[in-house]
Amino acid sequence: MGKLCILDYTKAELAGMVKPSFRAKQIWGWIYHQYATSFETMQNLPKTMREELAQTYEIMPLKIARKECSTDGTIKYLFELSDGKTVETVWLKMKDESIDEEGNIEHEARYTVCVSTQVGCKVGCSFCLTAKGGFTRDLTAGEIVAQVLAVKMDNNLAAHRRLNIVYMGMGEPLDNLDNLAKAITILKDEEGLSISGKRQTVSTSGLSTKIDKLGEMDLGVHIAISLHAVDDELRTELIPMNKAYNIASIIDAVKRFPIDTRKRVMFEYLVIKNKNDDLGSAKKLVKLLHGIKAKVNLIYFNPYPGSDYQRPSREDMVAFQEYLIKHGVLCTIRDSKGLDISAACGQLKEKSLT
C-alpha cells in the first residue's frame, strides 16, 4: 500500500491526525509557506516525528513530466501523478508588472492557474481534445491542491502572492464535487495559501443539480457556465450531456446560485466558425440571459490536428460582441494565449502519447 498524501487533508483534519496537535500548524506552514517537499527539512519538528511522517505520508503527489513555454508568458504543464497518470495545468500571465519612473513597482503582475479536476473527462464534448482519451479517474483534493503549489514553486511566486484559480482544465469539476470542495477549502485557508473564494472560479458544462449542491456548500466561489450554444440541438451536438441537463435547467440553476450582488455570472461561449458565430445566435443569447446579471466571455475555438471545427474570424467575433453590448449584456473577447504551444485542453497530454 502506498503512502498517504498529506495535501489531501484540511488543517483541522491534520490536527486530529498529528500529536500533539499544534504540530499540524507547523507542518502546514512548512508546506504552504516554505514550499517544503520533504519532512526532513522541517527542522522545528522532532527527528522521530519527521521520520514517522516520512514513512506514512508523501507531500507532493505529482511531478512535472513536460513543460511548454509560450512567448506570451503562458506555461503549459503536464504533471505525472503518483500512479503514472497525467493531467494538465496552465499558468497564465493576465497582466504584466508595471513600474513607475523611479523604478518602483506600481502594480504586481497578475496570474491565473487553470487547474484540472479529473484524469480525462466523462462529458465528451465534441470540440475538446480531452474527450478523445475518455475518463480514467477523479483527482483527489491533494492532487488538485498540488497543481497550484507546483506552479507557484516552479515560477518562484511567494506564498503570500495572490493569484486566481479557474477550474477549467481537464475534467468536469462538478463531477468530482466532494474532492473539489475540499481542495477549495484547503486553498482558502488563511494560514495556508489564503486564496479566497472570490479568486476561485468553478467552470461547469452544466450539471444543473450539482450547481445547486455547490451553491448549498456556500464556499464563496464564482461559477462559470460553459454554454457554447443558444439552442438544445446545437448544444447537444457540442456537449452530449445536454440531453440530461438542457439549457433551461442550467439557466434555472444559475438563477438559484448564491451570487455576490457586486459580481456577475460568467457564461463561457466557445465561438466556432459557421456554427454559433452569427448575429442570430447573438440575438438568442441576449434573450436567454434576460434577468441574469451576466458576463459573456467569447472564446476563440483553438484548433488542433484532426478537429472538425474551425476558428472564427476576428470580424465575426467583434460583431457578436458589439451586438451583445448594444443590447445590455457585458461581453469580452478572450484573447487566445499559448497559440505557439500545446494550449488547447488535452493537447499536451495527447502530444506526449504520440
Q: Give the Cα separation of 12 and 17 in Å (integer).
A: 9
Exactly one of 58, 88, 268, 350 is catalytic; name it: 88
Which residue type sits at 68?
A: E
Exactly one of 5, 114, 331, 345 is catalytic; name it: 345
> What's 135-170 look like in SS3?
EEEECCHHHHHHHHHHHHHHCCCCCCCCCEEEECCC
Say if residue 227 carries a ligand binding annotation: yes
CA 316 centroid distance within chain:
28
* Alpha helices per DSSP H over 192-238: 208-217, 232-238
Q: How far is CA 185 from CA 32, 198, 301, in A?
A: 14, 12, 32
Say if residue 203 carries a ligand binding annotation: yes
Evaluate whether 64 touches 154 at the Cβ level (below 8 Å): yes
Q: Give the Cα separation of 328 and 161 in Å (integer).
A: 35
**Is 345 known to be catalytic?**
yes
Say if residue 121 carries a ligand binding annotation: yes
Say if residue 172 carries a ligand binding annotation: yes
Say if residue 274 carries a ligand binding annotation: no
**240 φ/ψ angles, rounded to the nearest 5 degrees:** -55, -25
Say if residue 5 carries a ligand binding annotation: no
Which residue type sits at 84?
A: G
Q: Give the Cα separation of 134 and 125 in Å (integer).
A: 11
Question: What nine digits make up the cell of 34?
Answer: 516554505
Q: Indicate if the alpha-carbon torsion angle 268, 271, 277, 281 is positive or negative.
A: negative
Q: How far is CA 8 from CA 1, 48, 60, 323, in A?
A: 17, 23, 10, 46
**Is 322 known to be catalytic?**
no
Say if residue 226 carries a ligand binding annotation: yes
Closest CA to 241 of 177, 306, 175: 175
Binding site membership for S-adenosyl-L-methionine: which residues?
171-172, 203, 226-228, 302
**Residue positions in the annotated binding site?**
121, 125, 128, 171-172, 203, 226-228, 302
| Catalytic residue IDs | 88, 345
- Could you tell me which residues are annotated as the binding site for [4Fe-4S] cluster? 121, 125, 128
